[in-house]
């Protein structure tokens, strides 16, 4: 005989990923570095952003990149050309990085260097404006990119990504003179879903906006390093 | 593809839950999931993915019931709650204030599991 029963779980569906992300975060805190999760749709300019920022900041900070891609290591090779340690993470069928994948990337990174010597660890996520927003990897800050060629409606169509972002970079602004796009309308749509996020306009081609963006990074590293760490890795 | 990963997360949690009943394997009739409308999950797709994923497993035949949870924001200017319409934006209709606080709609939660176990049920 079987008796009908019901368990009230109230369990977060993503609890397992969250636990792994917290474990990664404990490592980042123990290493005293700033970890950034960089997300956008394919082609919004994540790798170009990293190329420009890594080149500009490498004399000041020690940095490394965990490079997520579904099938190739093309982006990883572009960044390796800058002389920065890069660990490619090929996700296969998965359209985003999760905390376990980043944990695996960290193990490979530790074979190359001591992460405690790093100032900034970049995680370049898989190009996708939907899924990466839901899967924490242990990052201190989420950075979302939106290129002006994608149109001003994307923050309303994909609001979770922009809600989750601590910083939104509007990229490829050098193309604005050639496009029927209102950048102020893009900013308004971003702020509707997330009034607290930082927003910068950038062009990786011309360098416009990078000074302000790098200033934000300086503030974040300073904030992370001034936060007491309670858990050691 | 996203729903495949969500289903994997769900199966992971269900397998952990099953361990609590070991060595017996509960027969699960229903898994009740709360899914907020302000998440990246499409409920219909998740149900289809679930049906595929549990076929041939200990969860075969278990129904996945999804309770949608509406996005509700709170206007921090006048404290009124509202349900944003993505077609017209996320500002509060009362004060045109941005959506600062989300009251509900971000849920991705396994609410309950309906099941049966061979009796007698162990006590304690």
ipTM of the complex, rounded to two decimals: 0.85
Provide the pLDDT confidence category of residue B123 given band limits of 50, 70 and 90. Answer: low
Q: How close, in Å, is residue B108 to chain A by CA atoms?
A: 5
Q: Is A79 a residue whose pLDDT tops 90?
A: no
Contact between residue A60 and residue A117 where contact means Cβ atoms under 8 Å apart: no
Contact between residue B50 and residue B30 where contact means Cβ atoms under 8 Å apart: no
pTM assigned to the model = 0.91
Looking at per-residue pLDDT, the higher value among A213 and A2 belongs to: A213
Residues of B with CB below 8 A from A6's CB? 112-115
> What residues in chain B have their Cβ under 8 A from chain A's Cβ atoms?
1-2, 4-6, 9-10, 12-13, 17, 26-27, 29, 33, 38-41, 86, 89-91, 98-100, 102, 108-119, 121
Q: Give the model confidence (pLDDT) of A178-207 as tens digits.
A: 999 999 999 999 999 999 999 999 999 999
Whole-number pLDDT of residue A151: 92
Name the residue among B48, B104, B58 with its Cα closest to residue B81.
Answer: B104
Q: Is A76 a residue whose pLDDT tops 80?
A: no
Q: Is B96 a residue whose pLDDT tops 60?
A: yes
Q: Is B122 a residue whose pLDDT tops 60?
A: no
Q: Is A233 a residue whose pLDDT tops 50?
A: no
Looking at per-residue pLDDT, the higher value among B2 and A51 belongs to: A51
Domain positions in chain B are 69-106
Output the average pLDDT for chain A.
Answer: 92
Output the average pLDDT for chain B.
Answer: 91
Tell me which of A3, A8, A11 to substitute to probe the interface with B (most B C-beta atoms closer than 10 Å).
A11
Contact between residue A51 and residue A77 where contact means Cβ atoms under 8 Å apart: no
Whole-number pLDDT of residue A167: 98
Q: How close, in Å, is residue B48 to chain A by CA atoms?
A: 17
Whole-number pLDDT of residue A124: 95
What distance separates the 2 farthest-apart alpha carbons in chain B? Answer: 59
Q: Is B124 a residue whose pLDDT tops 60?
A: no
Structure tokens at A41: 């749709």
CB B111 to CB A9 under 8 A? Answer: yes
Q: Is A89 a residue whose pLDDT tops 50?
A: yes
Q: Is A231 a residue whose pLDDT tops 70?
A: no
Whole-number pLDDT of residue A5: 87
Structure tokens at A57: 């900041």
Q: Is B54 a residue whose pLDDT tops 50?
A: yes
Structure tokens at A144: 């979302």
Cβ neighbour number for residue A24 with a 10 Å cutoff? 22
What are chain A's domains? 15-224 (3.40.50.300)
DSSP annotation of B85: B
Q: Which residue in A has a C-alpha nearest to residue B15's C-alpha?
A: A16
High-pLDDT (> 70) share of chain A, %: 97
Contact between residue B3 and residue B42 where contact means Cβ atoms under 8 Å apart: yes
Residue for token pair 């809600």: A163
Provide the pLDDT confidence category of residue A131 given band limits of 50, 70 and 90. Answer: confident
Distances in whole angstroms, Cα of residue A21 to Cα of each of A81, A104, A140, A162? 29, 12, 11, 20
Q: Is A208 a residue whose pLDDT tops 80?
A: yes
Rounded Cα–Cα distance for residues A161 and A39 (Å): 8
Q: Is B4 a residue whose pLDDT tops 90?
A: no
Q: How close, in Å, is residue B89 to chain A by CA atoms?
A: 7
* Cα dihedral sign, A194-A33-A120-A94: negative
Looking at per-residue pLDDT, the higher value among A9 and A190 belongs to: A190
- Helices marked H in chain A: 15-31, 46-57, 74-80, 99-112, 154-157, 159-164, 183-193, 210-225
DSSP letter string, A96-148: S--HHHHHHHHHHHHHH--GGG-SEEEEE--S-SSGGGG---S-SEEEEEEEG
Q: Which of A25-39, A179-193, B3-17, B110-124 has the lowest mean pLDDT?
A: B110-124
Strands B81-82 and B108-118: unpaired
Provide the pLDDT confidence category of residue A1 given band limits of 50, 70 and 90. Answer: low
Distances in whole angstroms, Cα of residue A92 to Cα of each of A73, A120, A209? 12, 26, 34
């Amino acid at each position: 005989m079987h008796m009908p029963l019901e368990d009230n779980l109230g369990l977060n569906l993503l609890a397992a990923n969250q636990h792994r992300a917290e474990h990664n975060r404990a490592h980042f805190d123990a290493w005293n570095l700033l970890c950034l999760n960089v997300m956008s749709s394919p082609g919004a300019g994540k790798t170009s952003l990293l190329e420009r920022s890594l080149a500009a900041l490498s004399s000041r900070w020690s940095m490394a990149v965990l490079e997520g891609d579904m099938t190739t290591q093309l982006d990883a090779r572009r960044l390796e050309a800058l002389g920065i340690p890069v660990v490619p993470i090929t996700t296969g069928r998965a359209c985003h990085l999760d905390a376990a994948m980043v944990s695996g990337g960290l193990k490979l990174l530790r074979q190359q260097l001591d992460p405690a010597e790093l100032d900034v660890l970049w995680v370049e996520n898989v190009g996708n404006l939907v899924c990466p927003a839901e899967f924490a990897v242990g990052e201190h800050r989420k950075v979302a990119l939106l290129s002006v060629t994608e149109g001003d409606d994307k923050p309303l169509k994909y609001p979770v990504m922009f809600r989750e972002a601590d910083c939104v970079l509007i990229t490829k602004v050098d193309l604005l003179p050639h496009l029927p796009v209102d950048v102020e309308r893009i900013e308004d749509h971003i702020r509707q879903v997330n009034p607290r996020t930082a927003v910068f306009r950038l062009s990786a081609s011309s360098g416009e906006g990078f000074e302000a963006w790098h200033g934000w990074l300086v503030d974040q590293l300073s904030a992370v390093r001034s936060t007491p760490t309670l858990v050691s890795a | 593809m996203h729903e495949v990963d969500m289903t994997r997360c769900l199966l992971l949690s269900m397998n952990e839950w099953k361990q609590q009943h070991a060595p017996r394997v509960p027969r699960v009739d229903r898994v009740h999931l709360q899914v907020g409308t302000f998440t990246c999950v499409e409920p219909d797709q998740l149900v289809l993915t679930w049906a595929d994923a549990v076929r041939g497993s200990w969860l075969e035949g278990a129904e996945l019931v999804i309770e949608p949870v509406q996005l509700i924001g709170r206007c921090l200017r006048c404290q009124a709650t509202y349900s944003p319409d993505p077609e017209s934006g996320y500002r509060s209709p009362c004060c045109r204030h941005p959506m600062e606080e989300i009251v509900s709609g971000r849920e991705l939660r396994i609410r309950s599991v309906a099941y049966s176990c061979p009796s007698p049920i162990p006590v304690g």
